[in-house]
Amino acid sequence: MKKKLKFLLSLIDATSEYTGKFYGIFLIVFLVGVITVEVIARYGFNRPIPGVHDAMTAYFGAYYLMAGAYTLLVGAHVRVDVLWMHFKPRGRAILDLITFPLFLLFMGVLVVYGWKFAMAATWSSSAGWILEFDHSFLKFPLFPLKWTIPIGGLLLLLQGIAKFVRDVHLVATRKALE
């Protein structure tokens, strides 16, 4: 049982981590490379690469939404460290357990309403597939982007639940769940 739980938690951690890093590394490929090439192409050779601007704008939303869970995993969501930081790990875990329901509520709303919102942009029983396309020459469909709200929210929710389980374990047994 404990073994299965540990496996599940490490699976959630790994999902968050690799999703975050996957989107993170795109920063270099997509931005540092593409922007430099695009500006040179536009001003150096007077031949702008069509669609780059729109593709980057569209991509940015996914970039930070999908990385929210990884940010939680590494503890980079900023807190007001007035009292919290003075506690020992177990005290911090107790405080985090107290605030967990509110986190659950916020993320639950994001997932449910984000899902409705994304669904409405993807398919309806009367109109079938509602495929909105980007206006640039690339013409990529927009619905995958809308799905990043519920999916990013879900990843963050799962990571929060993983932290909740660890906090419960720490509070109950005084030992960290490794």
Partner 1 sequence: MSIELITILMFGGLVLMLLLGMPVAFATGGVAVIFITTLWGPHALSVVALRISGQMYQYLLFAIPLFVFLACIMERCGIIEDMFTCFMEWSGPLRGGLAIAVILTGTLLAAVMGIIGAAVVTLGIIALPTMLERKYDQKFAMGAIMAGGTLGILIPPSILFIMYALVAAESCGKLFMGGILPGLVLSALFIIYSLIRCWRNPSLGPALSKEELAKLTWKKKFLDLRGIAPPLLLIFAIFGSILTGIASITEAAGIGAFLAMMIAAVKGRLNWKNVWDASTRGVTTTAMVMWTIFGAQAFVAFYIAQGGDKFVTNLIVGTGLGPYGILAIIMGILIFLGMFIDWVGIMYLCVPIFLPIIKICGFDPLWFGVVYNVNMQISFLSPPFGYALFYLKGVAPPDTKMEDIFKAALPFIGLQLIGLVIAIRFPWLCTWLPNVVFPSGVAAP
**Which of residues 6, 7, 10, 77 is near partner 1 by CB under 8 A?**
77
Using rule CB under 8 A, residue 25 touches partner 1: yes
Determine contact, residues 16/155, Cβ cutoff 8 Å: yes
| CA-wise closest residue to 147 among 176, 110, 119 | 119
Alpha carbon of residue 35 to chain centroid: 24
* C-beta closer to partner 1: residue 6 or 83: 83
Task: Annotate each residue in 123-162 with x if it binds partner 1 (CB under 8 A) or - if it does not, as one string.
Answer: ----------------------xx--x------x------
Using rule CB under 8 A, residue 99 touches partner 1: yes
Angle at which helices 52-65 and 143-173 pack, to 10 degrees? 20
* Structure token pair of residue 87: 């506690």
* C-beta closer to partner 1: residue 4 or 88: 88
The distance of closest approach from Cβ of residue 135 to partner 1 in the complex, given in angstroms and rounded to an integer, is 12
**Which of residues 5, 58, 119, 171 is near partner 1 by CB under 8 A?**
58
* C-beta closer to partner 1: residue 5 or 166: 166
Determine contact, residues 135/124, Cβ cutoff 8 Å: no
The distance of closest approach from Cβ of residue 47 to partner 1 in the complex, given in angstroms and rounded to an integer, is 15
* Structure token pair of residue 102: 């509110």
Determine contact, residues 6/177, Cβ cutoff 8 Å: yes
Burial 87-116 (b: 16+ CB within 10 A, else e): eeeeebbeebeeebeebeeebeebbeebbe
Q: Residues in the site for partner 1, rule: CB under 8 A?
A: 20-21, 23-25, 27-28, 31-36, 38-39, 43, 53, 56-58, 60-61, 63-65, 67-68, 70-72, 74, 76-85, 87, 92, 95-96, 98-99, 102-103, 105-107, 109-110, 112-114, 116-117, 145-146, 149, 156
